[in-house]
Structure 1
């Protein structure tokens, strides 16, 4: 079997946010499936969209890119990634090297972000290394919604992620 090779990946799609976004959820870098679909959390087994729909008490899980964008904006959620480009093997966060961080000020200077959350440990680790020294804003680490994080079943994920509601629904 041939060993997988590193690929240099550049983040190709824009962050989702507007002038009412109150929380920012950061991943590491879009997976291969997400890059194929040209939008965040595109792997069919990733629980991100089901989890957000559950936390936001939405009757429908957004399906299309347009529905996903509308859902995020309606619930005051900004989404992007810590990495602008890097070398990676497939979708393996543990293989990430040669990181060029994303410029998070694109969001932070134009949206009233009250809290930043990391979708998983690697997003948190990369944020602490590359973004925190520049922007000095605390990130709260949440368990990853990735199918690779099988130890966290949906109910347990929802319990941890529910903390975002405090900011989302504060008036």
Structure 2
């Protein structure tokens, strides 16, 4: 089954672009970035500021924007059964260079997990539009625990590296 990413969530003046790979089934069904309630993303972003996430999706987007955070996915469409990145096949990348050209305030690309990072490198490694931008490969906010990322607190600590790039 072919799935498609969402349009970018991007405001003028954004300084950090969080890049996922492709929204999971729960997010697609809700039509929301990180819509799976078990995903750690919103708890991580708010946790960086010592807060609990707002309930409403629009409030969460406004919170992210107020700190200079934008969101998109490296992959525009792909074939995937289920939600796992390991199942992604025949991916087509989003136009990340085009987005970066339209938003020169971007200073940091924050990759939410290995798949987004590796897919970016595959398609855009040598694109000069990204010269001078920090490229941070961060642990996935997926609800699946790993050896080093067991809970939200572990992820908040790892994601603190984006703080110097925020508004």
Same fold, TM exceeding 0.5? yes
Q: Which residue in 2 is equivalent to 1:8?
A: 2
Q: Which residue in 2 is equivalent to 1:4?
A: none
**What TM-score do the two structures reach when normalised by structure 1?**
0.87
Q: Which residue in 2 is equivalent to 1:25?
A: 18
- Measured after TM superposition, the shift of residue 135 of structure 1 is 4.9
- Measured after TM superposition, the shift of residue 122 of structure 1 is 1.1
Q: Deviations over 1:106-140 (max 9, x none)?
A: 43123211010100111111111123233563521
Q: Which residue in 2 is equivalent to 1:130?
A: 123
CA RMSD of aligned residues (A): 1.6
Q: Does 1:65 align with 2:63?
A: no
Q: Which residue in 2 is equivalent to 1:141?
A: 137
Q: Deviations over 1:77-121 (max 9, x none)?
A: 011000000101110100111010001134312321101010011
| Number of residue pairs the alignment of both structures matches | 161
- Residue range with higher mean Cα deviation, 141-150 or 20-29: 141-150
C-alpha distance in 2, partners of 1:77/1:106?
Answer: 18
Residue pair 2:100, 2:129 contacting (<8 A) in 1 also: no
Q: Which residue in 1 is equivalent to 2:37?
A: 44
- Measured after TM superposition, the shift of residue 70 of structure 1 is 0.6
Residue pair 1:8, 1:86 contacting (<8 A) in 2 also: yes
Q: Which residue in 2 is equivalent to 1:90?
A: 82
5+ residue gaps, structure 2, are: none
Q: Which residue in 1 is equivalent to 2:46?
A: 53
- Measured after TM superposition, the shift of residue 64 of structure 1 is 2.1
Residue pair 1:29, 1:84 contacting (<8 A) in 2 also: yes
Residue pair 1:24, 1:80 contacting (<8 A) in 2 also: yes
